[in-house]
Amino acid sequence: MSTADIGLIGLAVMGSNLALNIAEKGHTIAVTNRTASKIDDFIANAGDLADRIIGKADLVEFIQTIKRPRSIIIMVKAGQPVDDMIEQLLPHLDKGDAIIECGNSLFTDTQRRFDYLTPKGIGYLGVGVSGGEEGARHGPSIMVGGSKEQWHNAEAVLTAIAAKFNGESCCAYLGEGGAGHFVKTIHNGIEYADMQMIAEVYGVMRDGLGMSPSECAKVFKKWNEGPLNSYLIEITGHVLDYTDDKTGKPLVDLILDKAGQKGTGRWSAIAAQQMGVPATAIEGAVAARSVSSVKDERVAAEKVYGKPSAGSADVTLEDLEKALLAGKIVAYAQGFAVLQKASEENGWALPLATIAKIWRAGCIIRSRFLDQMSAAYAKGGNQNLLMVPDFVAVMQDSHTALRKVVAAGALGEFPLVCLSASLSYFDSYRQARGTANLIQGQRDFFGAHGFEMLDREGEQHGVWPSTLDN
Ligand code: NBP
């Protein structure tokens, strides 16, 4: 009998928590999983919510349990498993049914699946879900892309399970095809930059100011009460304050300094490069994780070049707070510029103010800052954040501190990949007369590429020497 309001496939961390969240909001949900034993375990641990959960090991029975037109969430490992699952579902779906894929899919895969299923009459939503396990259970930020018609069918459920900020749901339809997954990808790129800049500031505290983890923790906790207030700053305070049970030492001092990555940061950087939008803070963050992963090489290189001098950095904690704020504004400016360009190229009409709004709660980059940003974008215009009046004022107040911190990093020999990338971008962006005139001269010299001139019309060429002296 068709009794479930919605179905969900994939009962790992995200799927099981999302299913509980959906059941808690009063919806009956059918669930299934490739490894059938996990279905029983899941229902056995669902407590009171088990009444609203129907487990089916057989995929056809699972599909038949869902009311028509069916909405089926896929929450399995991104990549080929999603395509395999779509193929298994297809023969049993009817026109008007919809697949809602909620994993971290590459947006071009989502676009391809959308283009494949739409002519078959199957709706396809590619949905970015941010917030990890906790978010999935109690309210994630939900970025929806794909078929608008299917969005209307799924809107009530997705809006209900999303995080709320001042009573507003952090779920929105953002555009056709891969729009939702693209926005999630850039969210993750910004997240990489945000995390990296926090880690770099911690590095200055540790290596430049000689602060202990608990001293650093106090500072992050204090900063969380000011303009930097955000989930990432909050958890940083907790991570730095945590003591290892076994040794009694700060846990952070015992964690291997090799950062993992699953690819979404890299996808952001690639998308930015492909569209010719500078996203140097995001690229820097991806590069920094890659450098972190070659631990053996770094250990060998330190032996060759000597230990960084570090010592006493000539910066205050107030400089660090302001530098982090300035760097963060640049990273977000870059991320939103990538969104803006992708919106134009794909005809998505991405609503930047809404995106900033649905990132205010539930997701990893949630912060007070995003509330300010959504208000600024809502006032009108999609200009670079560095030109939005509220943020101009903050940058004017904070870029000197960023400069001081980056200079201290250079002299103290500790790397500030992301903060220095942010500063260089800011300095390039606000420089009316740059140095590309020389690049154009060089290009014309070796390749006759031509250049424009300030004092005359049309393409020009230099009369360069045909041979060089050496
Ligand atoms: P995983 O990404 O670890 O995937 C595990 C699930 O995929 C299990 O249900 C597994 O079934 C199923 N699966 C696999 Br693996 N191959 C399959 C196949 N060929 N056919 C059918 N099912 C298959 O789960 P997750 O961590 O819950 O993440 C789910 C999605 O959400 C991913 O795209 C992830 O990137 C994304 N995401 C994760 C987080 C997070 O914090 N974990 C946050 C945001 C987004 P089995 O039980 O039979 O092995």
pLDDT digits (tens, 9 = 90+) for 85-110: 999 999 999 999 999 999 999 999 99
What is the domain-level CATH number for residue 134? Answer: 3.40.50.720
Same domain, residue pair 119 and 88: yes
364 Cα: distance to centroid of ligand 1 (angstroms)? 19
Q: What is the DSSP letter of 413?
A: T
Instruction: State the Cα–Cα distance between residues 109 and 63, nearest whole angstrom.
Output: 24
| Domain span including residue 239 | 186-429
Same domain, residue pair 275 and 318: yes
Same domain, residue pair 263 and 137: no
Phi, psi (degrees; rounded to nearest 5) at 73: -85, 130
Q: Are strands 6-9 and 71-74 parallel, antiparallel or unpaired?
A: parallel
Q: Which of 14, 20, 32 to mutate to test the pocket of ligand 1 (most atoms within 8 A of CB)?
A: 14
Burial pattern 65-90, b for ≥16 Cβ within 10 A else e, equals bbeebbbbbbbbebeeebeebbeebe
Q: Which residues line ligand 1 (CB under 6 A)?
A: 10-15, 33-35, 38, 75-78, 81, 84-85, 103-104, 129, 132-133
119 Cα: distance to centroid of ligand 1 (angstroms)? 27
126 Cα: distance to centroid of ligand 1 (angstroms)? 15
Q: How many residues does the chain have?
A: 470
SS (H, E, C) 127-192: EEEECHHHHHHHCCEEEEEECHHHHHHHHHHHHHHCCEECCEECEEEEECCCHHHHHHHHHHHHHH
C-beta atoms surrounding 24 within 10 Å: 16
Burial pattern 244-267, b for ≥16 Cβ within 10 A else e, equals eeeeeebbbeeeeeebeeeebbbb
Q: Report pLDDT for 101.
A: 98
What is the domain-level CATH number for residue 412? Answer: 1.10.1040.10
Q: Report pLDDT for 309.
A: 74
| CA of 15, closest atom in ligand 1 | 27
Long-range CB contacts (within 8 A, 24+) of 153-158: 153/69, 153/71, 153/98, 153/123, 154/6, 154/71, 154/98, 154/100, 154/125, 157/5, 157/6, 157/22, 157/25, 157/27, 157/71, 158/100, 158/127
| CA of 13, closest atom in ligand 1 | 27
Identify which of 361, 284, 276 has the alpha carbon closest to the alpha carbon of residue 330: 284
Whole-model pTM over 0.85: yes
Domain count, the chain: 2
pLDDT in tens, the chain (470 residues): 669 999 999 999 999 999 999 999 999 999 999 999 999 999 999 999 999 999 999 999 999 999 999 999 999 999 999 999 999 999 999 999 999 999 999 999 999 999 999 999 999 999 999 999 999 999 999 999 999 989 988 999 999 999 999 999 999 999 999 999 999 999 999 999 999 999 999 999 999 999 999 999 999 999 999 999 999 999 999 999 999 999 999 999 999 999 999 889 999 999 999 999 999 999 999 999 999 999 999 999 999 999 887 667 889 999 999 999 999 999 999 999 999 999 999 999 999 999 999 999 999 999 988 998 998 888 877 789 999 888 999 999 999 999 999 999 999 889 999 999 999 999 999 999 999 999 999 999 999 999 999 999 999 999 999 878 76
* Sign of the dihedral through C-alpha 364, 365, 367, 371: negative
164 Cα: distance to centroid of ligand 1 (angstroms)? 25
Q: Report pLDDT for 1.
A: 62
DSSP conformation letters of 188-255: HHHHHHHHHHHHHHHHIIIIIS---HHHHHHHHHHHTTTTT-BHHHHHHHHHHH-B-TTTSSBHHHHS
Instruction: State the Cα–Cα distance between residues 439 and 71, nearest whole angstrom.
Output: 54
Same domain, residue pair 144 and 199: no
Q: Are strands 98-101 and 71-74 parallel, antiparallel or unpaired?
A: parallel
Q: Which of 11, 16, 77, 142 to mutate to test the pocket of ligand 1 (most atoms within 8 A of CB)?
A: 77
Residue 400 neighbours by CB under 8 Å, 6+ apart: 322
76 Cα: distance to centroid of ligand 1 (angstroms)? 4
| Cis, bond preceding 69 (omega within 30 deg of 0) | yes
Nearest CA to ligand 1 atom 14: 77
Nearest CA to ligand 1 atom 2: 77
Same domain, residue pair 195 and 99: no
459 within domain boundaries: no
| Tokens (6 digits) for 186 | 């850039």
Same domain, residue pair 272 and 345: yes
Same domain, residue pair 142 and 214: no
Nearest CA to ligand 1 atom 36: 103
333 Cα: distance to centroid of ligand 1 (angstroms)? 32
Q: Residue 36 in 3-state DSSP? A: coil
- Of 177, 194, 221, which residue is a domain's last? 177
| Tokens (6 digits) for 413 | 């020999």
Active-site choice (38, 101, 176, 191)? 191
CA geometry: angle at 148 spanning 143 and 149, to 5°? 130
Same domain, residue pair 121 and 50: yes
Q: Which of 41, 62, 76 to mutate to test the pocket of ligand 1 (most atoms within 8 A of CB)?
A: 76
pLDDT, tens digit, 9 for 90 and up, residues 190-223:
999 999 999 999 999 999 999 999 999 999 999 9
Instruction: State the Cα–Cα distance between residues 235 and 241, nearest whole angstrom.
Output: 10
| Tokens (6 digits) for 209 | 């100011």
Same domain, residue pair 141 and 199: no
77 Cα: distance to centroid of ligand 1 (angstroms)? 3
N-terminal to C-terminal alpha carbon distance within the chain: 85
Quick check: is 191 catalytic? Answer: yes
454 within domain boundaries: no
Same domain, residue pair 244 and 126: no
Instruction: State the Cα–Cα distance between residues 190 and 184, nearest whole angstrom.
Output: 10
Q: What is the DSSP letter of 308?
A: -
Assess contact for 459 and 451: CB atoms under 8 A.
yes
| CA of 34, closest atom in ligand 1 | 48
58 Cα: distance to centroid of ligand 1 (angstroms)? 19
State the residue for tokens 């001081």: 404
Instruction: State the Cα–Cα distance between residues 8 and 30, nearest whole angstrom.
Output: 6
Instruction: State the Cα–Cα distance between residues 140 and 133, nearest whole angstrom.
Output: 9
Q: Report pLDDT for 205.
A: 96
Q: Report pLDDT for 382.
A: 75
Nearest CA to ligand 1 atom 1: 77
455 within domain boundaries: no
Active-site choice (38, 56, 184, 328)? 184
Burial class for 466, CB neighbours closer than 10 Å (0-12, 13-18, 19+): exposed
Nearest CA to ligand 1 atom 3: 77
| CA of 132, closest atom in ligand 1 | 41
- Of 429, 444, 464, which residue is a domain's last? 429
331 within domain boundaries: yes
Q: What is the DSSP letter of 385?
A: G
| CA of 14, closest atom in ligand 1 | 27
| CA of 78, closest atom in ligand 1 | 33
Same domain, residue pair 229 and 293: yes
Assess contact for 110 and 126: CB atoms under 8 A.
yes
* Sign of the dihedral through C-alpha 263, 269, 270, 275: positive
Same domain, residue pair 74 and 194: no
* Sign of the dihedral through C-alpha 319, 322, 324, 327: negative
Quick check: is 184 catalytic? Answer: yes
